[in-house]
Amino acid sequence: MVDYSQAGVAHIEQVYRELAQHCADRMGPGFLANVGTASAARDMDLIRQALGDDQINYLGYSYGTELGTAYLERFGAHVRAMVLDGAIDPTIGPIEENVKQLAGFQTAFNDYAADCARSTACPLGTDPTQWVNRYHALVDPLAASPGKTTDPRGLSYADATTGTINALYTPQHWKYLTSGLLGLLRGTDAGDLLVLADDYYGRDRDGHYDNDQDAFNAIRCVDAPAPTDAASWVSADQQFRQAAPFLSYGQFTGFAPRDLCALWPVPATSTPHAAAPAAPGKVVVVSTTHDPATPIRPG
């Protein structure tokens, strides 16, 4: 869904509305209102009580740092020690968080391209000023026609970019990204990008998907209110394009779809805020370089 014309945006938002309504019909608004991080923190404490423990030790990665922070705020007396690895800034809203993550993925893309360019066979070439342009030349045509794969589905634009994002999480996956891009360049099998996309979405060989993406959307949509006005998302589109040029399809049109969470059937149950300080010596926050999803700065 890359058509950001006025009609294209209306279609994307209709798809989002139908998805949101399907979730509400399937699970019920009461359930959706209670799957957020605050509810999960209360569930954690019920588990602690059931185990008969006065205090817990906690290690949380990425989103787990949000969950740990929520627990600490509400039940700090029951925390003996906590490590938050890959911290997410609890004070920012969804648009700013997306901008920071996209900037992290652009940095990871640049790191990948620089490593790839050490080989003369790199599909992005060796000129740093052309890496983004060459990437677009390979993947953008997929919006009109899928790329070749041994899988009968072919490679869509969405799967190519999702596969790229998955590969950028770890250098161990870079070789598969290179293989897929070479397939696009040569007009041969670009299937490694499809494999990466399937892995990201939890798709098995029989075409079944796990519920990670469903849970991700249901949780994030009640964890922070998303702007509901169209102008905020047009501005966000400009910010997203600037933060991650390699993911910016086409030209800025002055139209952009509102996020799924702006159309969610239940209101947010939390708002971004500064976490209350913990007792000295109780919490260690760890951040690492080259982690695109949780950049070092929030730590």
CB-based contact 211:172 (threshold 8 Å):
no
Residue 161: give the domain boundaries: 94-209
Per-residue confidence (pLDDT) for residue 298, from 0 to 100: 62
**pLDDT score for 291:** 83
238 within domain boundaries: no
Assigned domain for 188 exists: yes
Q: For residues 140 and 143, give the distance between their C-alpha atoms in angstroms, rounded to a whole number.
A: 6
Instruction: Answer whether residue 70 is part of any domain.
Output: no
Q: Which residues pair with 214 in a beta bridge?
A: none
Q: How confident is the model over 5-33, as pLDDT tens digits?
A: 999 999 999 999 999 999 999 999 999 99
Q: Burial level of 271, CB count in 10 A (0-12/13-18/19+)?
A: exposed
Flag whether 168 is in a domain.
yes
pLDDT of residue 288: 80
What does the pLDDT average to over 66-83?
95
Can you tell me the distance from the alpha carbon of 238 to that of 256, in angstroms, rounded to the nearest whole number?
9
* 45-66 burial code (b ≥16 CB/10 A, e <16): eeebeeeeeeebebebeebbbb
What count of other Cβ atoms lies within 10 Å of the Cβ of residue 144? 8
Alpha carbon distance 58, 81 (integer Å): 6
Range of lowest pLDDT (14-18, 145-149, 251-255, 279-283): 279-283
Rounded to whole angstroms, the Cα distance separating 230 from 235 reads 9
| Number of domains, the chain | 1
Rounded to whole angstroms, the Cα distance separating 31 from 26 reads 10
Q: What is the pLDDT of residue 275?
A: 82
The answer to whether the CB of 270 falls within 8 A of the CB of 73 is no
- Grade residue 289 by pLDDT with cuts at 50, 70 and 90: confident
181 domain-assigned: yes
pLDDT for residue 299: 55
- Give the sign of the dihedral formed by CA 20, CA 24, CA 29, CA 31: negative
Q: Tell me the residue length of the chain.
A: 299
Mean pLDDT of 268-276: 89
Q: Is 262 within a domain?
A: no
